[in-house]
A and B are shown apart, each in its own frame.
Chain A
Amino acid sequence: MRHLLSTADLDRAAAIRVLDTAAQMAATQGRQIKKLPTLRGRTVVNLFFEDSTRTRISFETAAKRLSADVINFSAKGSSVSKGESLKDTALTLQAMGADAIVIRHQASGAPHTLAHAGWTEAAVVNAGDGMHQHPTQALLDAFTIRRHLTGSATNPDGVGNDLAGLHVAVVGDVLHSRVARSNVDLLHTLGARVTLVAPPTLLPVGVGPWPAAVSYRLDDVLAQGPDAVMMLRVQRERMSTAGGGFFPSPLEYTRLYGLDARRLATLPDHSIVLHPGPMNRGLEISADAADSPRAVIVEQVANGVAVRMAVLYLLLSGDGDTAAAPATGAVPALTSTPASTTAGATA
């Protein structure tokens, strides 16, 4: 594993390996001493061009729990606000000896460029790029689902399991959601059945070939008894006015697509409710649903640290020799070889 750019790059074995590693990381987080010496001397740079609280803090916590040095870099108040390009920023970080760069960028594909343009030797982790991918969020969602729905008394984390046979409904603003895209890819890889539920205006053009069913009616999908319901945030900052023309009014959106106490009661007993946060209480999810016992939203945040520890461990702990990895069955390479990609781009 060289970079983590998209959940579409993960095959089933690689995804399960990340989740299993995360389970062991989560076990260490229940101890009195949570810090591990694993990445001592390594440097992780959090390069955030977009506002973020929980993802940045989660990555920072994960890196610190593994004893890596963390440098936080946000575009505000840095030389980026003076007009520095991504390339020059990357060259600067490379010169400072970053071993991993966690990047969030408003432009889809920025992490891919950073990983493959030859500007830096560091491992690149995509922490959300535009409306493209947010792979660690999907991994922590899958980890949470697996723990709740496939765990047993002897194997509470469901280590080794995939999500075969589970039905996950992803509800809300799919159009603007990188979380939805990452989740559709990963949940499909892990064998789950995904149904996207959204008003037609909040579904992207070209959703047809996605490995997911599409419905416009939340009540119909809830009647099928999904095992997990993932509510997406309505991304008002990406819409111009109240509904931005995507829906007539917030109240109508809530009536048709909001998860409230009545809809919650129609779910099977084992179903769980997820939300990537931050929540718009009263818009896509009511306080009743957000605070109900079947909401695992706070647990998602805790699992996020474990999943990000696992990703940093898998990216940074080895000898970096990806060519040797398949021979020993260690880590399947996650991306096409950087060298050939770079050569193709320059040719």
Chain B
Amino acid sequence: MTSGTPVPDDTSVADTATTAATVVLGEQDVARALTRIAHEILERNKGGDDLVVLGIPTRGVPLAHRLAARLAAVEPGLVAEDLVGSLDVTMYRDDLAQHPTRSIGATSVPARGIDGKVVVLVDDVLYSGRTIRAALDALNDLGRPRAVQLAALVDRGHRELPIRADFVGKNLPTSTAERVRVLLAETDGRTEVVIESGAGAGAGGPR
């Protein structure tokens, strides 16, 4: 147990199976994207010194763990457990008053802290950019990283803030009526990325 992520019941998976959904990334695609991102991170930062990988709950946390495992596998001397943490942004969101009360996730930072480090934020879907804005505020209260970079498994466009990802698994042009869901083995029992049409998606708010 490192993420504190609740394991959803089987019904959530069953629900997605019945709605009209297009699978855009399978398990192997997700694995390849993460491996490429790991190499890109090491290339950009000229190695893995000072790296801290922080996942944003819920789906960002298992992604961050997968990414840290790949970084450790590629770069000698890195230990995945010392790199990875989670950063909950709930209390920094700007839309708290527009939605029903959200549960607060866990924040855990590697023991060596984030001061002077290069923090790589990891999220599943990059959409409006508001989650990342909240994450930057949350980081601000935890310390002063030397640099902050952003890795997203899916970039679906429709940005509302001047934010872009440094590392993207796949760019998915979408309409705002569609809903992009990232399913991960750790939380959903299987790994894939699906696009659901607006009609069947229901209450899928911006992420």
- Which A residues are closer than 8 A to B by beta carbons? 1, 17, 20-21, 24-25, 27-28, 31, 33, 35-38, 66, 154-155, 159-160, 313-314, 317-319, 321, 324-325, 328, 330-331
Assess the A21–B92 pair: CB atoms within 8 A: no
Which residue of A17, A24, A331 contacts B107 across the interface (Cβ within 8 Å)?
A: A24
A330 to B6, CA, bound (A): 14
Assess the A37–B91 pair: CB atoms within 8 A: yes
A313 to B91, CA, bound (A): 9
CB nearest neighbor in A for B91: A38
Assess the A27–B107 pair: CB atoms within 8 A: yes
Shortest Cβ distance from A184 into chain B, in angstroms?
A: 27
The digit string for B140-151, where 1 denotes a CB below 8 A from any CB of A, is 011000000000
Q: Does B1 interact with chain A (Cβ within 8 Å)?
A: yes
Q: Does B105 interact with chain A (Cβ within 8 Å)?
A: yes
Q: Does B104 interact with chain A (Cβ within 8 Å)?
A: yes
Which residue of B91, B100, B105, B106 contacts A330 across the interface (Cβ within 8 Å)?
A: B100
Q: Which residues of A contact B101 (CB under 8 A)?
A: 1, 313-314, 317-318, 325, 330-331
- Which B residues are closer than 8 A to A by beta carbons? 1, 4, 6, 88, 91-92, 96-107, 137, 141-142, 203
A interface, over-half SS: loop
Assess the A159–B103 pair: CB atoms within 8 A: no
Known: A1-B101, A324-B100. 11 other contacts (CB 8 A): A24-B104, A24-B105, A31-B142, A36-B92, A38-B91, A66-B91, A154-B1, A159-B106, A317-B101, A319-B98, A325-B101
CB nearest neighbor in A for B143: A32
List 10 interface pairs A-B (beta carbons < 8 Å), by A numbering. A1-B101, A28-B107, A155-B1, A317-B97, A317-B102, A318-B100, A319-B97, A330-B100, A330-B101, A331-B100
A280 to B101, CA, bound (A): 40
Q: Which 6 A-B pairs have the closest CB atoms?
A: A318-B101, A330-B100, A38-B91, A24-B104, A33-B141, A317-B96
Assess the B203–A17 pair: CB atoms within 8 A: no
A233 to B150, CA, bound (A): 54
CB nearest neighbor in B for A38: B91
Shortest Cβ distance from B112 into chain A, in angstroms?
A: 15
